[in-house]
Amino acid sequence: MSLKNWTKKALSFGLAATMLVGCSGGNGGSASGGEGDKTAKKYKIGVLEVALNDESTNRAEYFKDYIGPEYNCEFMFSEAITDLEAALTFLENAADAGCDAIINYYPIKDNTEQLVMKAADLGLVFVENGGRGKANDEVYAAKYDNFAGGFQADQPNTGALFKEWMEKNIDTSAEHGYLIATGGAYQGNDQQTQISLNMLSALEELYGLTFEQTKEALYQSSAPIEAKNDKNIPVYCYPGMTNQNGWLEGLTAALQSGKYDYILTAPNVIGNIGTAVSELETAMKKDFTWIGFGTFGDALTKSITTKDSFGNQTLSMSTVKFTSIVSAMAFAKVYNNLTGHNDVNIVSDGTAVNLFRMNAVTSPEQLEAMSSWDKKDRWVADIDFVNSLITERGGAKTNEELQANIYKLDYDTIAARLGTK
């Protein structure tokens, strides 16, 4: 079902106003924020969060204090959203509060259509931190006028970072057991699916083992499951998130069994389980090796820079992303839609999913080199970068150009501009 009349219904005044007053052209925005075009039409954007953590705090600061003043935008943030009903309620509340658009960080493919349709009914542009799959393929293909598409990590690349670390660092001559926290993979979360898949694949190749069930059946299980295999290597897949009742208790109970000394976490739970892991290690006198997805912030810094009771780095490896890049992508896709340039969000077979790449971090020194980035006055995604994604500011005119501009902002480019401490 296409919503070709949605723009006329919800945006006619906004587009007319924008065409009259315009936005500042080219890359003339202030690199420090706060000096944007005051004549631009003001938009209000709701941000639907699935968890409240270092990343969401960083994102809120970037949106409110940096993007908001530059583009004459206001932002409204949800509490942690854990189910579809709560997500739909937030959309209603956002519309009542005068929002023009929603940036959704609750990416479950089965929910995409309901959320996009609800947003359309409320006159809201909608973009999701998620990708295209079987459950939502028709939504992406339909080119809904209010749908700005998806944005996410280059997920196969993210998963491969974990597999590469495991292949280089696991000693198969010693006895080990593996607890894999698969997070929302069972709900279709692309990132956690790829990380879980790569972890299981690494174990297959390291040990030359064969699982009794397919890897898909293991990471798609909504209940904890032993990944039985022909080498009798203890592998336990543990789904769910920290905001679900009993999740942490279940994780610690599994570790207390003594079967597992490797903790492999696909969701971002570093700030939630670090204390529990440390206490168990001390109480059990068992050396745990932990790798897991993370993001810049106090929790990651503490876990990378502190030693456990055995004198080892508490967290051996994580993958980090620059929150401002992801936020800039989401904002640009929404802003392009609001200002009449949704064609930038469209590719030949439907609505686009745009990608960013993550980096692995394995040492305090490496983390220190990046620790001064993505903070106030040192945002990785500065105004020049954001403008390169926004047609109204003289930026990308096609999705291919938008994607190319995202990939141009790599580690070397950032280091050349921001340097290190």
Q: Given this model, what pLDDT does residue 132 score?
A: 92
List the beta bridge partners of residue 178. Answer: 235, 262
Give, in degrees to the nearest 5, the angle at Cα 68 between 63 and 74.
95
The domains of the chain, with CATH numbers, are 6-145+322-357+382-418 (3.40.50.2300), 155-319 (3.40.50.2300)
What are 355-397's pLDDT values in tens digits?
998 889 999 988 988 878 888 999 999 999 999 999 999 999 9
Q: What is the mean pLDDT of each run of 10 residues along the chain (421 residues)?
A: 41 36 34 56 96 88 98 97 95 98 93 97 97 94 95 92 98 97 93 96 98 98 98 98 93 98 96 94 97 88 94 94 94 98 97 93 89 89 98 98 95 85 51
Distance CA 388, CA 383 (A): 8
- Asked if 59 and 47 count as a contact pair (C-beta separation under 8 A), the reply is yes
Backbone angles phi, psi at 25, to 5 degrees: -90, 175
Give the relative orientation of helices 323-338 and 399-408 as an angle to the nearest 10 degrees. 160
Q: Given this model, what pLDDT does residue 39 score?
A: 67
Residue identified by tokens 């679900």 is 244
In angstroms and rounded to an integer, the radius of gyration of the C-alpha atoms of the chain is 22
Helix (H, G, I), strand (E, B) or coil at 64: helix
Q: With 0-12 CB in 10 A as exposed, 13-18 as middle and 19+ as buried, what is 358?
A: buried
The single-letter DSSP state of residue 319 is E
